[in-house]
């Protein structure tokens, strides 16, 4: 059903008000991982402050803060000075490369089938799974730029992100804490085609800008409860479009991640829609317009399109999305 210009204007005006000052100005996009309740512009403040103070004054000021705030400032200072150094290489030149036409995600697929049930990940079993170990090793011998089509490359990088997020948990990392998120997304690096990269750069400097596909946000999983559910199957180039649509539908219609109060006309949305609102709005013109196309109830979808819903973002649960791995001895 086509919307009147008045309805479209009201919807977009409301969303503009709801999102004003929420979209992190690039390149300062990491604060939503460190401070998920919103500290837009914190790195700009740090830059302006540290440029005017002596090192002694800075350290004296930091030591007066609470421990969480102290770590937050330290990690953000570290990020400010490293943010210009993406770990994504221009090309991948692995030693003893695997021919791109013979590479598949079958080993990762087998690991997911065996150890992921309805989004719950059995990390102890994955730690000993030979298929998963083989997949991680195979990635060292791939030159992704040689994969034949965009679908091959996008499926590749989604699977790589999810595999490395699992590997991070098995390595003992966790995004459940402020310091843990820094290590999980930036501090830990992984190898593809003999080159090192981290999860943050893989998402922010490769997946999002190179493919411009908002459904990516429902496919990559950072091992947390509020993330999309990890699928029990690898993404494949042949079925990629259907898989991405299914992941979007599953995420948006999951009441633990998004809820819609029709009586009060409030859309309680995942923080993912807050953090990456620009990607969704650029695609569909409005955030609610993007969400509505994946809502399974047609009456609710029409209601969202035709009425000005208030948007409220849910708290993000960073706790683990499965059975914790065994503690190292």
Which string of DSSP letters, residue by residue, matches 252-307?
HT-TTT-EEETTTTEEEE-HHHHHTHHHHHHHHSSHHHHHHTT-S-HHHHHHHHHS
Q: Are residues 149 and 266 in the same domain?
A: no
Cβ atoms of 269 and 258 closer than 8 Å? yes
- Token readout for 34 is 């460190």
**232 exposure class (CB count in 10 Å sphere: 0-12, 13-18, 19+):** middle
Total domains in the chain come to 3
pLDDT tens track of the chain, all 329 residues? 444 444 444 444 344 333 332 233 333 455 555 555 544 444 444 444 444 444 455 455 556 666 666 565 555 555 544 444 566 888 899 989 999 999 999 999 999 999 999 999 999 999 999 999 999 999 999 999 999 999 999 999 999 999 999 999 999 999 999 899 999 999 999 999 999 999 999 999 999 999 999 999 999 999 999 999 999 999 999 999 999 999 999 999 999 999 999 999 999 999 999 999 999 999 999 999 999 999 999 999 999 999 889 999 999 999 999 999 965 44
Q: Report how far residue 190's alpha carbon sits from residue 184's, in angstroms, rounded to the nearest whole number.
A: 11
- Token readout for 91 is 């090309």
Q: Are residues 270 and 238 in the same domain?
A: no
Sheet arrangement for strand 322-323: 116-117, 120-122, 322-323
Q: Are residues 140 and 208 in the same domain?
A: yes
The pLDDT of residue 138 is 97
Q: Are residues 118 and 205 in the same domain?
A: yes
pTM summary value: 0.80
Q: What is the pLDDT of residues 155-191, one digit of tens each?
A: 999 999 999 999 999 999 999 998 999 999 999 999 9
The pLDDT of residue 16 is 38
195: phi then psi, degrees, rounded to nearest 5: -120, 145
Alpha-carbon torsion, ordered 157, 158, 162, 168, to 10 deg: 30
Question: Is 218 inside any structural domain?
Answer: yes
- The per-type count for the chain, helices as H runs and strands as E runs, is 17, 8
The pLDDT of residue 75 is 58
Q: Are residues 168 and 202 in the same domain?
A: yes
Q: Are residues 122 and 217 in the same domain?
A: yes
Q: Are residues 161 and 238 in the same domain?
A: yes
Question: Is 137 inside any structural domain?
Answer: yes
The pLDDT of residue 68 is 61
Question: Is 231 inside any structural domain?
Answer: yes
Question: Is 22 inside any structural domain?
Answer: no
Phi-psi category of residue 212: left, alpha or beta, with phi > 0 → left and psi -120 to 50 → alpha: left
> Does the N-terminal peptide bond of residue 49 adopt cis geometry, omega within 30 degrees of 0?
no
DSSP 241: H
Q: Are residues 153 and 223 in the same domain?
A: yes
Question: Is 19 inside any structural domain?
Answer: no
Full DSSP string of 123-154: HHHHHT-HHHHHHHHHHTT--GGGSSSHHHHH
Q: Are residues 147 and 178 in the same domain?
A: yes
Question: Is 92 inside any structural domain?
Answer: no
Q: Are residues 135 and 226 in the same domain?
A: yes
- Token readout for 167 is 């590997």
- Token readout for 17 is 């008000």
Give residue 275's domain range. Answer: 258-313
The pLDDT of residue 65 is 60
Question: Is 200 inside any structural domain?
Answer: yes
Q: Are residues 162 and 299 in the same domain?
A: no
CA nearest to 318, candidates 76, 33, 123: 33
Question: Is 65 inside any structural domain?
Answer: yes
Q: Angle 55-63/67-82 helices, nearest 10 degrees?
A: 140
- Token readout for 166 is 């699992």
Q: Report how far residue 16's alpha carbon sits from residue 37's, in angstroms, rounded to the nearest whole number.
A: 19
Please, what sign has the CA dihedral across residues 270, 247, 260, 13? Answer: positive
Q: Are residues 230 and 142 in the same domain?
A: yes
């Amino acid at each position: 059903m086509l919307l009147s210009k008045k309805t479209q204007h009201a919807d977009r005006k409301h969303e503009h008000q709801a999102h004003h000052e929420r979209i992190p100005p690039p390149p300062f996009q990491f604060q939503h991982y460190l401070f998920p309740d919103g500290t837009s512009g914190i790195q700009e403040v740090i830059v302006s402050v540290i440029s005017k103070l002596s090192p002694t004054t800075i350290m004296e000021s930091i030591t007066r803060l609470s421990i969480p705030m102290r770590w937050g400032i330290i990690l953000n200072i570290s990020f400010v000075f490293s943010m210009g150094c993406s770990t994504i290489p221009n090309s991948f030149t692995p030693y003893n490369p695997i021919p791109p036409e013979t590479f598949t995600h079958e080993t990762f697929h087998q690991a997911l089938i065996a150890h992921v049930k309805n989004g719950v990940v059995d990390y102890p079993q994955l730690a000993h799974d030979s298929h998963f170990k083989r997949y991680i090793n195979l990635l060292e011998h791939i030159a992704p730029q040689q994969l034949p089509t965009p679908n091959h490359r996008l499926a590749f990088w989604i699977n790589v992100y999810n595999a490395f997020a699992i590997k991070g948990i098995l390595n003992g990392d966790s995004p459940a804490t402020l310091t843990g998120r820094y290590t999980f997304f930036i501090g830990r690096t992984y190898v593809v085609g003999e080159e090192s990269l981290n999860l943050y750069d893989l998402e922010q400097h490769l997946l999002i800008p190179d493919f411009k596909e908002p459904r990516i946000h429902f496919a990559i999983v950072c091992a947390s409860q509020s993330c999309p559910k990890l699928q029990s199957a690898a993404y494949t180039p042949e079925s990629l479009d259907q898989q991405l649509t299914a992941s979007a539908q599953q995420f948006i219609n999951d009441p633990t991640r998004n809820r819609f109060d029709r009586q009060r006309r409030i859309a309680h949305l995942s923080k993912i829609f807050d953090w990456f609102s620009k990607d969704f709005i650029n695609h569909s013109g409005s955030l609610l317009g993007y969400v509505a196309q994946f809502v399974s109830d047609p009456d609710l979808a029409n209601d969202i399109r035709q009425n000005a819903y208030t948007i409220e973002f849910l708290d993000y649960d960073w706790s683990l999305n499965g059975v914790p791995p065994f503690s190292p001895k």
